[in-house]
Amino acid sequence: MGEIEIELRVNEAVTRSTVPPRLTLADFLRERCGLTGTHLGCEHGVCGACTVLLDGDAVRSCLVFAVQADGHDVTTIEGLDGPDGSLSPVQQAFRDHHGLQCGFCTPGFVVTAEAFLRDNPDPTDDQIREAVSGNLCRCTGYQGILAALRAAADAVET
Amino acid sequence: MTPATAGLDGAAGRYTGSRVHRVEDPRLLRGRGTFVDDVVRPRMLHACFVRSPFARARLGAVDATEALALPGVHAVFTAADLNPGVHEAWYTSMGKDVPDTPRPPLAEGEARFVGDPVALVVASDRYVAEDAVELVDVDYDPLPALVDYHDGPQADALVHERYAGNVAGSLGAPCPDDLAAVFASAAHDVSVTIHQQAYAPVPLETRGIIVEWSGEELTVWAATQAPHEVRMFLARLLGVAEHQVRVIMRDTGGAFGQKVLPMREDMCVALAARLLPAPVKWIEDRRENLMAAGMSRHEHGDLRMGFDGDGRVVGAYIDHTQDVGAYPTPWPVGTAAAVGMLFPGPYRVPRAGFRTTSVFSNTSGRTAYRGPWQFESVAREVLLDIAARRMGIDPAEVRRRNLLRRDELPCTNPNGMPYSDISPAETFEQALAMLDYDAFRRQQAEAREHGRHLGVGTCTYVEPTTTGMAYYGTEGATIRIEPTGTVNVYVSGGSTGNSLETAVVQLTADALGVDLADVRTVQGDTAVTPFGAGTGGSRSGSMLAGAVAETAGVLRERIVAIAAHLLEASPDDIELGESRAQVRGTPAAAVPLAKIADVAYFAPAKLPDGVPAGLEASGRHHARNPMIWANATHVCTCEVDVTTGAVRLLRYIVSEDCGPMINPSVVEGQIAGGTVQGIGGALFEHLAYDEDGNPLTTTFMDYLLPTATEVPAIEYGHVETPGPGPGGFKGVGEGGAIGAPPAVVNAVADALAPFGVEITRLPLTPATIVELIEGAR
Ligand code: FES
Ligand code: FES
């Protein structure tokens, strides 16, 4: 199994590596880059815990091979807070509205929400529900997550 | 919707009872948490299990030649390698004297369910380990399996040879003659059998463990609710002393009962670590989790309840049978008794009885799951609605006539449960008022005229929390006020999303009169934290409050003595707040905690007589009550599309009494999470098997968890009756998952009442509902 050389930008840093073709982007980020905020809840594309931004689009990194990210731009949960560790407005809204409990699903929801609110700054409640319906949370019953997205959207608007 | 958390961080004041921001959040929101799979050890190896593809098969030779030839493979262990290493394999909560069910690390002689671990492959990375699993050749000789526990007592197949009729055990007694006579002479004698499907905790983080053996010390990183039990269990397993084992956990991605006890895979990894030259990590994948991490809720009850002419209960009996799978965790027979004992619920029931039987099957083993006894509520509440319809009385009215009133409490139910400090009639009325029950009935009648089918269902339950028994009965805390005056509080831990760090910080800040920002907590490392039983049985709030109060009291006294000495005042005049001590009414006469700590550590000569140096203390709370009762009412409304069978939940109200709240946001989060799990159990989730015992739901495409588009907004009502323990706090972690399934079922049944449909089987999938309606037509 030949290894393949890749070069991509991860949270704005140029990263070069040699990877087996079957290595998933999720495992590449977790194991090669040490970015363990990207979580694996199913490894078959349903739970959304592994969501990252690939050239700005929310994708499931368990379904993408690292080699497919060659030449592209990846943003993980670790790339969303401020350089001083301050929370992004979406992260802060999750904190304000008890949008997380165990925190395992949280990076996936936050990354999904960042992309959604960027593209839909003025969403309806139904659009918010729809936007996160591809992410599973077993702890919160989604109540705080939906409240957080609403608040984050309203904050952007005003 | 959850009200926004107040920005109280760092502000002085009383924190207990407020919606302070969680201390866990910043690291988790920034992707800097530490879950077990995030931990990497030098030279770490990766484990993967070979699992049986047959529900039941005789195990022949295991040929690992090809697997071992694969570069990167270190070892392939079989039962012959690992199982002889077991010294003892019992759980502290059960003790070693219960007639425990079998618990071999790897399957020995026979595989007993699809997913039964047969061999363990260890390799340099996970990908290679998975490749090698495919290359291990196991000689299976398939045998007839017992898939459906209902067939257990009659089946030829025995799951375990030494259990005749596949019965793991039974408690209680058949319906006594005098109770049967009560039923026979009752104005209404209602018998019904209710079946609940198998579903499971399904934490979003699967199970996982890393074990490192140094030759004399075993260090374990685990996804667990109870690090100290992992330590005790593994010490006994390996025959090493408790203090030779150190268990560490920081963040655990949900558990809900599944991670309360180490299971067979954990045993295998620990045993293998002793034989390996390097640490070994096992992270379960989702397929394994849905196939082998355990099953819950699969049970049925033959129920009988008698009512007088006014709809008042005269007697109740449940004959309960539960599926315990092939390898239950822990011994399942004793815990099932709670189903029978709680069956009378929060009602005035003069006579009752129960029997419970645990039956093995060739499926995944039964495990604890959030309110493990919740079938008592499913059975009773669904029965009450069926009975109400048969009697021609509104279901709410039947409950009103039977609910225990405050002036009847405390009282002991006819199965021996001693109720106190509960408010079932109050939560019931509050929840119905929040809905405006009568208005809903009018709206429902109107909708029916237009061919729309709305329904309302309720569930009222009482729940024993915070057991004071044996292993669970004490909880310790160590508090160190450091030389700079910052505070560290050490408790056992086992937080799995239930915000134990925030709760402990709030409680400690108040107990010592310090700013929230000055307190941090260390949890989940057995090397530095006092023993505690962890998350389980809705115990943490009360027990941690007791532990913090016990310990902080000692330090408070010491701080006051030092402050009085430094300020030349009487200790009686010293008050603590905002991280300083001051003379009451004289703000100028104050000394910061930092100064007091400085003296305590660095100038002991300046301390008053009899006050020891330093500001460190350990204390242990011991629960004085056998349990602390909590109660709640769930009310749900829905609309059923009678063509497609789809259920849309309209409103969802929970009125609960968990005493005073340490943090209302955390309480409501626990209620919401449990409720949505219960909604999942009523409508979607089913850990299903085919006739041959093949699991049908091993991905999230097949095992359907509720998503954001299916859940209603949850509305909360609070009734506050202080419990008998510290601070009056009661447990609240499990209740949501108990109350929701019957409320949802009753709402659907109410919507379908015009069809004469009776619902006695879960889950209520669209297909089931359409079938029920067609059957009734
Ligand atoms: S881990 Fe990628 S979607 Fe679940
Ligand atoms: S917070 Fe635990 S899974 Fe969402």
Residue nearest to atom 4 of ligand 2 (CA): A137
Strand-pair category, B352-360 with B313-325: parallel
B409-415 CB contacts, 8 Å cutoff, 24+ apart: B413/B341, B413/B342, B413/B344, B413/B349, B413/B352, B414/B316, B414/B344, B414/B349, B414/B350, B414/B351, B414/B352, B414/B353, B415/B340, B415/B341, B415/B342, B415/B343, B415/B344, B415/B352, B415/B353, B415/B354
Q: Using one digit for the tens of pLDDT, what is the confidence trace for B552-592? A: 999 999 999 999 999 999 999 999 999 999 999 999 999 99
Dist CA B506 CA B13 (whole Å): 10
* Chain A stretch 114-143, residues whose beta carbon is closer than 8 A to a beta carbon of chain B: 129-130, 132-143
B257 pLDDT band, cuts 50/70/90, is very high
Give a yes or no: residue A53 inside a domain: yes
Convert B720-758 into a string of H (helix), E (strand) and C (coil): CCCCCCHHHCCCCCCHHHHHHHHHHHHHHHHHCHHHCCC
pLDDT at B7 over 60: no
Q: What is the pLDDT of residue A85?
A: 87
A71 and A9 in a common domain: yes
Q: Please state the rounded mean pLDDT for residues B660-678.
A: 97
By DSSP bridging, strand B45-51 and strand B280-283 are parallel
CB pair distance less than 8 Å for B25 and A95: yes
Please check whether residues A133 and A152 belong to one and the same domain.
yes
Confidence bin at B10 (pLDDT 50/70/90)? very low
- Give the pLDDT score at A55: 98
Contacts of A119 (CB under 8 A, 6+ apart): none
Closest CA to B678 of B752, B773, B771, B764: B764
Contact B511, B549 (CB under 8 A): yes
Give yes or no: residues A75 and A57 share one domain. yes
The DSSP symbol for B20 reads P
Contact residues on chain B for A43, CB-CB shorter than 8 A = 285-286
Q: Are residues A123 and A67 in the same domain?
A: no
Look up the CATH architecture of domain B10-33+469-622: 2-Layer Sandwich (3.30)
In the numeric block, which tokens belong to residue A142?
A: 């989604």
* CB burial string B747-772: b at 16+ within 10 A, e below: bbbbbbbebebbbbebbbbeebbbeb
Does the pLDDT at position B4 exceed 50?
no
Residue B3 has pLDDT above 80, yes or no: no
Least Cα distance to B545 among B420, B419, B660, B672 occurs for B660
Q: Give the residue numbers spanning the domain of A128.
A: 89-157
C-alpha to C-alpha distance for B697 and B692, rounded to whole angstroms: 14
Q: Are residues A39 and A102 in the same domain?
A: no
Backbone angles phi, psi at B368, to 5 degrees: -65, 145
Determine the Cα–Cα distance for residues B477 and B458; give it in Å rounded to an integer.
40
Do the chains contact at A101 and B497, CB–CB below 8 Å? yes
Residue A151 belongs to domain with CATH number: 1.10.150.120
- A136 vs B25, B26, B204: nearest CB: B204
Probe target for ligand 1 pocket from A24, A25, A38, A50, with the most ligand atoms within 8 Å of CB? A50
Q: How far, in Å, CA of A38 to CA of A52, rounded?
A: 7
Residues touching ligand 2 (Cβ under 6 Å) are A 100-106, 137-140; B 204, 253-254, 497
Q: Where are the beta strands (DSSP E) in B500-597?
A: 519-523, 574-577, 580-583, 586-592
Cα-to-chain-centroid distance, residue B566: 49
- Residue closest to A110 by CA, chosen among A42, A26, A45, A38: A38
Mutate to test the interface with B, among A101, A112, A124, A136 (most CBs of B within 10 A): A101
Query: Please, which residues have CB within 8 angstroms of residue B632's CB and are 6 or more apart in sequence?
Result: B427, B460, B461, B463, B654, B655, B656, B657, B671, B735, B739
Same domain, A138 and A72: no
Task: Using a CB–CB cutoff of 8 Å, tell me whether B666 touches chain A.
Answer: yes
pLDDT of res. A156 = 73
Query: Tens digit of pLDDT for each residue in A18-55?
Result: 999 999 999 999 999 999 999 999 999 999 999 999 99
Round to whole Å and give the CA distance between B681 and B363.
19
pLDDT category of residue B25 using cuts at 50, 70 and 90: very high
Q: How is chain B split into domains, by residue range? A: 10-33+469-622, 374-466+625-776
Q: Is the pLDDT confidence value at B297 over 60?
A: yes
CA B649 to chain centre: 25
Distances (CA, A) of B203 to A42, B261, B374, B643: 11, 14, 19, 34
pLDDT in tens, A73-108: 999 999 999 889 899 999 999 999 999 999 999 999
The order of strands in the sheet holding B299-307 is B167-172, B352-360, B313-325, B299-307, B188-196
In angstroms, the CA B597 to CA B581 distance is: 12
Residues A113, A147: one domain? yes
Half-sphere exposure (Cβ direction) of A85: Cα atoms closer than 13 Å? 5
Residue B86: closest CA among B208, B219, B266, B226: B266
Give counts: helices (H), strands (E), chain B: 19, 28
| pLDDT band per the 50, 70, 90 thresholds, residue B777 | confident
Q: Which ligand is nearest to the CA of A63?
A: 1
Do A94 and A128 fall within a single domain?
Answer: yes
Q: Which of A98, A128, A133 to mutate to test the interface with B (most CBs of B within 10 A)?
A: A98
Ligand 1 pocket, CB under 6 A: A 40-43, 45-50, 60, 62
Give the confidence band of A1 by pLDDT, cuts at 50, 70, 90.
low
Length of chain B, in residues: 777
Note whether B354 and B340 are within 8 A (CB).
yes
Which of A46, A105, A111, A132 is the pocket-test mutation for ligand 2 (most atoms within 8 Å of CB)?
A105
Token duo for residue B524: 């989940």
Of B625, B344, B341, B631, residue with least CA distance to B462: B631
Kindly report, residue by residue over B71-130, the tens digit of the pLDDT.
999 999 999 999 999 999 999 999 999 999 999 999 999 999 999 999 999 999 999 999
Compute φ and ψ for B665, nearest 5 degrees: -65, -40
CATH number (domain holding residue A61): 3.10.20.30
Q: Are residues A32 and A66 in the same domain?
A: yes
Chain B residue closest to A146 (CA)?
A: B708
From the list B199, B201, B202, the residue with the least C-alpha distance to B323 is: B199
Mean pLDDT within A130-145: 98
Which DSSP string do the residues of B596-647 spell out, in sequence order?
Answer: HHHHHHH-GGGSPTTPPSS-EEEEEEE--SS-EEEEEEEEEEEEE-TTT--E
For A110-124, write each residue's pLDDT tens digit.
999 999 999 999 999
Residue B617 has pLDDT above 50, yes or no: yes
Closest of B124, B144, B193, B415 to residue A20, by C-alpha = B124
Ligand nearest to the CA of B37: 1
Question: Residues A95, A75: one domain?
Answer: no
- Smallest CA–CA separation between A71 and chain B, in Å? 24
By DSSP bridging, strand B73-78 and strand B117-123 are antiparallel
pTM, two decimals, is 0.97
Pairwise CA distance, residues B315 & B571, whole Å: 60
Tracing tokens 């490392």 back to the chain, one arrives at B525
Nearest to A114 by CA among A79, A72, A66: A79
Å from CA of B322 to ligand 1 middle: 33
- CB-CB: which of B28, B256, B285 is closest to A103? B28
Extract the tokens encoding B53: 């593809």
**Could you tell me which chain B residue has the CA closest to the CA of A81?**
B30
A15 and A64 assigned to the same domain: yes
Is the per-residue pLDDT at B6 higher than 80? Answer: no
Q: Which of A57, A79, A101 is the last residue of a domain?
A: A79
Please list the residues that pair with A59 across neighbouring strands.
Answer: A52
SS3 call for A19: strand
CATH of domain B374-466+625-776: 3.30.365.10
Judging contacts by C-beta atoms under 8 Å, the chain B residues touching residue A142 are 672, 676, 706-708, 711
DSSP secondary structure, B241-264, as one string? -GGGEEEE-S-----TTTTSS--H
Here the tokens at position B178 are 């005098």
Residue B174 has a CB neighbour count (10 Å cut-off) of: 12
Indicate if A61 and A97 belong to the same structural domain.
no
How are strands ordered across the β-sheet holding A13-19? A13-19, A4-10, A73-75, A51-54, A57-60
Count Cβ neighbours within 10 Å for each residue of B394-421 and write b for 16 or more, e otherwise: bbbebbebbbbeeeebeeebbbebebeb
Q: Please give the pLDDT value at position A157.
A: 59
The pLDDT mean for chain A works out to: 96
Is it the case that residue B59 has pLDDT exceeding 80?
A: yes
> Using CA atoms, how far apart are residues B772 and B769, in angstroms rounded to an integer?
5
| Mean pLDDT for all residues in chain B | 96
Number of H helices, E strands in chain A: 5, 5
User: 77-116 in A: which are within 8 Å (CB) of B?
Assistant: 77-78, 80-81, 85, 87, 91, 94-98, 100-107, 110
Q: Angle at Cα A40 formed by Cα B231 and Cα B372, nearest 5°?
A: 55
**Is the pLDDT at B5 greater than 50, yes or no?**
no
**Considering only CA atoms, which of B686, B667, B101, B71 is closest in space to residue B365?**
B101
Query: For residues B118 and B108, what is the distance between their CA atoms, to the nearest angstrom?
Result: 8
Looking at the CA of residue A48, tell me the nearest atom of ligand 1: 3
Choose among B482, B488, B496: nearest CA to B24. B496
Instruction: Give the tens place of pLDDT for each residue, B207-229.
Output: 999 999 998 999 999 999 999 99
Nearest residue (CA) to ligand 1, atom 3: A45
C-alpha closest to that of B525 among B154, B145, B247, B187: B247
B495-534 per-position pLDDT tens digit = 999 999 999 999 999 999 999 999 999 999 999 999 999 9
| Same fold across B10-33+469-622 and B374-466+625-776 | yes
Atom number in ligand 1 closest to CA A63: 2
CA distance A68 to chain B (A): 18
Which residues, including other chains, have CB under 8 Å from residue B301's CB and lie 6 or more apart? B193, B194, B318, B319, B320, B321, B339, B375, B379
- How many CB atoms sit inside 10 A of residue B74's CB? 20
Alpha-carbon span B487 to B509, nearest angstrom: 9
Chain centre to alpha carbon of residue B545: 19
A102 with B253: Cβ contact below 8 A: yes
Total number of domains constituting chain A: 2
